[in-house]
Amino acid sequence: MNPSLPNYLKKQEGKRLFDLGDIACAWGALYAKCSFYAGYPITPASEIAEFLSKELPRTGGRFIQMEDEIASMAAIIGAAWAGARSMTATSGPGFSLMQENIGYAVMTETPCVVVNVQRSGPSTGQATKPAQGDMMQARWGTHGDHEMVALCPNSAQECFDLTVRSFDIAHALRVPVLLMLDGEVGHLRETFDLKLPETGLNLPKPPSPSDAPPFGGNPVPPQVLFGEGRYLHVTGSTHKPDGTRDVTTPEVHDQLVRRLCRKVDQNRHALKDVEKDIPRNSKTVVLCYGAPSRPAAAAVEEARKEGLKAGYLRLRTVWPFPGDELEKLPRSVETVLVPEMNLGQMSREAERFTDRKVVCASKVGGVCHTMREILSKLREVS
Amino acid sequence: MDHPLVKYLRPGTIPSTFCPGCGCGMVLNCLLSAIEKKKVDPKDIVMVTGIGCSSWIPSPMFKCDTLHTTHGRAVAFATGVKLMMPDKKVLIIAGDGDLSGIGGNHLVHAAHRNIDLGVMMVNNRIYGMTGGQCSPTTPSDLYTTTTPYGNLDQPMMAAELMVSAGANYVARWTTYHVRQLTKAMEELMQGEGFRFLEIISQCPTHFEKDSKRTPTEILDFYKENSIPVAEAKEAYDGQLGSRLTVGALAERKRDGYMRRLEAVERKLRADMEGEAQKNAAGTREGKK
């Protein structure tokens, strides 16, 4: 279930590498003891599959290239019930195909990690260019009521760190975790260390598998697996705590779906992960995530040199959305500026939590914002 | 006294949810008989199913580890299970709509991969659970709830497709042939590589809505219209009136996916150990 790190990886621990964000993510998977990967080629995520096809077998894990992303998502869920720590990686079009089975993972409480290296859409769009157009698809892509956990790195090091964290969260809460890279971060080449991060997340320990029901009772039920002689019944249909199907009793569905949402919601503070620098007298706060947060940080620094009172708030956990951070902004803040590589997805979410003016600095077309672009927007709104 | 096979069922699953005269009960009976005969421990089986009437055979009736998945994807889920549980028998029961329609791509690829799964396709030639719509195996010209002017398509020949896709074992029988079915299910459980069994099964509620045939009349029809593969002069084309060719369509001895995978992994481990020893020797040399 949770094997120790293979010697092959122990030997390389602490090494500093210079490589793609995608590759840092794949290294993170190895150090998170990922034991199963299924995927389908797609730009700009293929490097993750290529790397793991070579390295995963060296750590005792298994890799398979499936016929499409639907099958990839299905296979990682099947493998998880067989005891694997499993993962897939894709980009927008494949992420769309995975949505039904992501919902299945939510409903059956299957721990797994889905990496989406976002590219410019809709449809085939600019297949090789980066975007952040899937932020709302991550939140609401699968049908039915649900909560979602999604993380968003902005450097190669964070690709490594947050991949490890994604596995931790997936297994602590028995949920699928979405790791939302963008093509810019995935194809960014920089240094990173093969060093396991301090998780820092205060997640609940799931009850140990005993006679407790595997699909109810506790907010996070114990993880029982195939092969333990429990005659597990796993279904995406509405089910009772023992796993057997009951699709007609209103209370059974109500209790199940509310519990599935509650187990994420009641851990929203443990899951919260922001980087912030909001001085008391700030007038404008830049709210950002992923690739645009890099030029945004530089723009805030420049703006301060010019005398503008600017703050910086970056989301590493994007879902659940840390609305409380916006609710408790200093009174001096008049504007929240959101640079994002879409036409305004997270900025719209921000509007739900603050009465200040929210301005989206959109950029689409497959190119990330420059520092100057964000700086001039900062001047404009300040 | 309980029926000798009741011990394999989850408590409280009888009476079943199947319509009177449905073939699914017979499929379950054959499967449990095969398990009993071969003394297979249900703890060594993982059942994976999709969506549709026949997927309700193991879910919830058969007492074993069961993964009741999304529509059409059972084979893909099962691939993940098998890769991480190579010692288990991973079996799939689903219908013609599930396996050859929405999940057709997964079925073809699992066969071409020759991965060690046993698939039972219960072919009632119609979408039963949703109310009798046309399926990929519905005979041409048949009236269904979505082909009110007759079915324009030709029926898909799933078993023949599996032969050409590279499955190690492919057979077709009907629910009339309970002994042969049981035997074929034993074949699914004991062999290597991808193993596919098409079971022509009756749906008195929907498929026979216009014919008004009783279940026993349908079984008699299956009996009279079946012909062993070896004796068939014409290929079965899935049409009404065409003679059902029954029996094994392929019995190959190719290495299964798991055997090939394990061989690669063994070689990789040996290479890594060799490399480590060479490095250790090199370090000792260096120290001298």
Determine, yes or no, domain membership for B1.
no
Name which of B80, B261, B272 is nearest A82 (Cβ-Cβ): B80
Domain membership flag for residue B109: yes
Question: Does B281 share its domain with B223?
Answer: no
B18 & B78 share domain? yes
Q: Are residues B261 and B226 in the same domain?
A: no
Residue B71 belongs to some domain of the structure: yes
By the 8 A CB rule, do B53 and B128 touch? yes
Q: Do B77 and A74 touch (CB under 8 A)?
A: yes
- Whether residue B76 and residue A75 make contact (CB cut-off 8 A), yes or no, is yes
Answer whether B80 sits within 8 Å of A231, measured CB to CB: no
Give contacts of A68 with chain B, Cβ < 8 Å: 105
What does the buried/exposed string (b/e) look like for A323-348 if buried means 16 or more CB atoms within 10 Å of the residue's CB?
eebbeebeeebebbbbbbbbebbbbe
Q: State ipTM.
A: 0.96
pLDDT of residue A1: 38
> Do the Cβ atoms of A35 and B84 come within 8 Å?
yes
CA–CA distances in Å: residue B254 to residues A89, A218, B263: 32, 48, 14
Integer Cα distance of A39 and A33 in angstroms: 17
Domain range list for chain A: 1-271, 273-381
Cβ–Cβ below 8 Å for B68 and A83: no
CA-based nearest distance B153→chain A, Å: 25
Our count of domains for chain B comes to 2
Cis ω before A122 (30° cut-off from 0): yes
Residue B68: which of A67, A230, A236 has the nearest Cβ?
Answer: A236
User: What is the domain extent for residue B195?
Assistant: 6-254
Q: What is the pLDDT of residue A313?
A: 98
Homologous superfamily assigned to A1-271: Thiamin diphosphate (ThDP)-binding fold, Pyr/PP domains (3.40.50.970)
Nearest Cα to Cα of residue B170 among B150, B191, B152, B155: B191
Chain centroid to Cα B32, Å, comes to 15
- Residue from the list B60, B105, B264 with its beta carbon closest to the beta carbon of A233: B60
User: Considering only alpha carbons, which residue of chain B is nearest residue A62?
Assistant: B83
Q: In A, which residues are within 8 Å of B10 by CB distance?
A: 231, 233, 244
| Predicted confidence (pLDDT) per residue in A55-67, tens digit | 999 999 999 999 9
Same domain, B270 and B229: no
What torsion, rounded to 10 degrees, do the Cα atoms A143, A144, A148, A152 define? 30
Average pLDDT by stretches of 10, chain B with 288 residues: 91 93 97 98 98 95 97 98 98 98 98 98 97 97 97 97 98 98 97 97 95 95 96 93 96 98 97 89 68
Residue ranges in chain A modelled with pLDDT below 70: 1-3, 199-200
B287 and B171, same structural domain?
no
- Full-model pTM: 0.97
Could B43 and A104 be called an inter-chain contact, meaning their C-beta atoms sit closer than 8 Å? Answer: no
What residues in chain A have their Cβ under 8 A from chain B's Cβ atoms? 8, 35-36, 38, 57-58, 62, 64, 66-68, 70-72, 74-84, 86, 100-101, 104, 226-227, 229-237, 244-245
Nearest Cα residue in chain B from A1: B84
Give me the architecture of the A273-381 domain, per CATH.
3-Layer(aba) Sandwich (3.40)
Q: How far is A66 from chain B (nearest CA, A)?
A: 8
